[in-house]
Amino acid sequence: MQTLQSPTSLSTASVSIDRDDWLSGYRSQTQEFTYWIDQIEGQIPLDLEGVLFRNGPGLLDVQGHPVSHPFDGDGMISAIAFRGGRAHYCNRFVRTQAYVAEQKAGKPLYRGVFGTQKPGGLLANAFDIKLKNIANTHVIYWGGKLLALWEAAEPHRLDPNTLETLGVDYLDGVLKPGGAFSAHPRIDPGWACPDSPDREGGPAQPRLVNFSVKPGLSSTITLYELDSTGQLVHQHSHAIPGFAFLHDFALTPNYCVFFQNPVSFNPLPYALGLKGAAECLQFNPNQPTRIIVIPRDGKRPVQILETQPCFVFHHANAFEHDGKVYVDSVCYRSFPSLEDAKNYREVDFSKVPEGQLWQFTLDLTAKTVESECVVSRCCEFPTLHPDHVGRPYRYLYIAATHASTGNAPLQALLKVDGLTGEQQLWSVAPRGFMGEPIFVPRPNGTEEDDGWLLILLYNAERRCSDLTILDARNIEKGPIARLLLNHHVPYGLHGSFTPNYFGPAEEL
Ligand code: CO
């Protein structure tokens, strides 16, 4: 959002959702497939070439033992390869050490961070604090490696052609055993930004920037910058006061920005085997959210600003303009509590705070923060043109609820024009359920919205998933192609697109 115009809000009445429809997207997918997609409505663009990789929990149970929360489900990667107007689908579970062991044992052997317990009650779970690296949150192709990510542990490397698991990857020695690499790397597109006056305006070449957190009474954030060959360019660590639950961060040419949500962690119920670690987080509504601004050069001091109490999982983007830093984030009034994590199937949406898009304006000289709500409709999973990551931008795409107020499953896609304040909405309610949109620029396109949005939707009518392609210039027209998969893919988390083609050379 370059300069904010007062946003127009699209009003849509709520729609009644069949709960079985919604829950049917939470069935385990135990099978692994590889096939050319032959049920296609519309036309796949001939110049769309590359692979959409997507990660998410593939199993909602371990051989009949249900997980307490979808975030505890084993990571399963889907790869949809596009070339010449055709598409090929493949999915594989990440063969983590825990996945292999549990499938062999036929029962859970690990406790999940989100409350899944081993069979056997308290005695089996007390004082067992070993983490299950479930590799289920994101998947990226960078430096010649396909990596499945989970924020509290090392990445798993996969073969981009077959999705075969090659093993835990230490990024050529950047990470040490037991180290972490967050599930939310940002790719700096690598062009000088004239709006960033105090440095060169960003690196000249693309870079992958990521972090890890070592939590404790004070928390240590380590930042990594890798060049396009995967070589480490920069690494520096900073201790910040207090416990920090950091899922994501935002990037500008000069800064990495973190939101330290006002949550505290009581480890006792976790250690005693009563709760999962994430269930022990408590939101403190009287404490400010702290905004941690770390200079990317690692030389200048870290600055900490304060804003109203809120909870942020995901940032949409950040940029520098007129000597200020702007951060656009999906904000919740409070932590969407996991107290009822064991009953995620019975969740009462009216009791869960909705995520809304806010813009925060940081004045690093005056140490002040202003904030404004940009999208009040419940929304999550923001995306934008990759060339505008960390730079001023005009268009944001985000999954949203069908209704303009209240919380509900995400069933629509919203396009926000930060220049005019206009919004476009495309809804798949009542029987479609939205996934994260991924923006893919059209080769040789010049406009910021000249590209496609790829979305893996769950279609409850078919009890299967659809890969949907929209023209980002006008999402109200609906899809230009719908690729009907032969099966469902459970509701997922994050994915990415690479213009490198990995897929079968010829029809199988
Ligand atoms: Co995330």
Residue 247 CA, ligand 1 centroid: distance in Å: 6
Residue 210 CA, ligand 1 centroid: distance in Å: 13
pLDDT at 201: 64
- Distance, in Å, from the CA atom of 180 to the CA atom of 165, rounded to the nearest integer, reads 18
More confident residue, 80 or 333: 80
pLDDT at 135: 96
Residue 46 CA, ligand 1 centroid: distance in Å: 31
Q: Which of 207, 345, 182 is nearest to 258 (CA)?
A: 182
Residue 44 CA, ligand 1 centroid: distance in Å: 28
More confident residue, 413 or 508: 413
Residue 315 CA, ligand 1 centroid: distance in Å: 9
Is the pLDDT at 3 greater than 50, yes or no? no
Residue 72 CA, ligand 1 centroid: distance in Å: 14
Contact (Cβ atoms closer than 8 angstroms) between residue 256 and residue 249: yes
pLDDT at 278: 76
Average the pLDDT over 242-270 and give the result: 90
* 185: CATH: 2.130.10.10
Residue 261 CA, ligand 1 centroid: distance in Å: 15
Q: Is residue 4 part of a domain?
A: no
User: Three-state DSSP class for 25?
Assistant: helix
Is the pLDDT at 199 greater than 70, yes or no? no
Amino acid identity, residue 346? E
pTM comes to 0.94
Question: Over the stretch 134-173, which tens digit does the pLDDT of each residue have?
Answer: 999 999 999 999 999 999 999 999 999 999 999 999 999 9
Phi and psi of 50, rounded to 5°?
140, -165
pLDDT band at residue 195 under the 50/70/90 scheme: low
Give the dihedral sign, CA 187/455/2/355: negative
Residue 507 CA, ligand 1 centroid: distance in Å: 35
Question: Over the stretch 35-66, which tens digit does the pLDDT of each residue have?
Answer: 999 999 999 999 999 999 999 999 999 989 98
pLDDT band at residue 352 under the 50/70/90 scheme: confident
Q: Is residue 13 part of a domain?
A: no
Question: Over the stretch 429-455, which tens digit does the pLDDT of each residue have?
Answer: 999 999 999 999 999 999 999 999 999
Is the pLDDT at 328 greater than 60, yes or no? yes
pLDDT at 452: 98
Residue 354 CA, ligand 1 centroid: distance in Å: 16
pLDDT at 508: 45
Peptide bond into 430 cis (omega under 30): yes
Average the pLDDT over 283-311 and give the result: 94
Average the pLDDT over 263-285 and give the result: 78
Which residues are CB-neighbours of 391 under 8 A, at least 6 positions away?
Answer: 189, 191, 193, 195, 202, 252, 253, 319
Give the dihedral sign, CA 357/363/369/371: negative
**Highest-confidence range of 53-57, 65-69, 126-130, 297-301, by mean pLDDT?**
53-57
Is the pLDDT at 22 greater than 80, yes or no? yes
pLDDT band at residue 275 under the 50/70/90 scheme: confident
The partner residues of 441 in beta bridges, in order of sequence, read 451
Residue 39 CA, ligand 1 centroid: distance in Å: 31
Per the structure, the complete domain to which residue 91 belongs is given by: 19-196+204-498
Residue 379 CA, ligand 1 centroid: distance in Å: 13
Residue 151 CA, ligand 1 centroid: distance in Å: 9
Average the pLDDT over 194-206 and give the result: 69
Q: Which of 328, 393, 314 is nearest to 360 (CA)?
A: 328
Average the pLDDT over 61-72 and give the result: 89
More confident residue, 263 or 376: 376
Average the pLDDT over 202-217 and give the result: 88
- Distance, in Å, from the CA atom of 474 to the CA atom of 395, rounded to the nearest integer, reads 12
Beta strands in 103-144 (DSSP E): 138-142
Residue 391: count of CB within 10 angstroms of its CB: 26
Q: Is residue 465 part of a domain?
A: yes
As for how many domains the chain has, the answer is 1
Residue 505 CA, ligand 1 centroid: distance in Å: 33
pLDDT at 389: 97
Burial of 457 (0-12, 13-18, 19+ CB in 10 A): buried
Residue 115 CA, ligand 1 centroid: distance in Å: 18
Mean confidence (pLDDT) of the chain: 91
Q: Is residue 14 part of a domain?
A: no
Give the dihedral sign, CA 469/473/475/477: negative
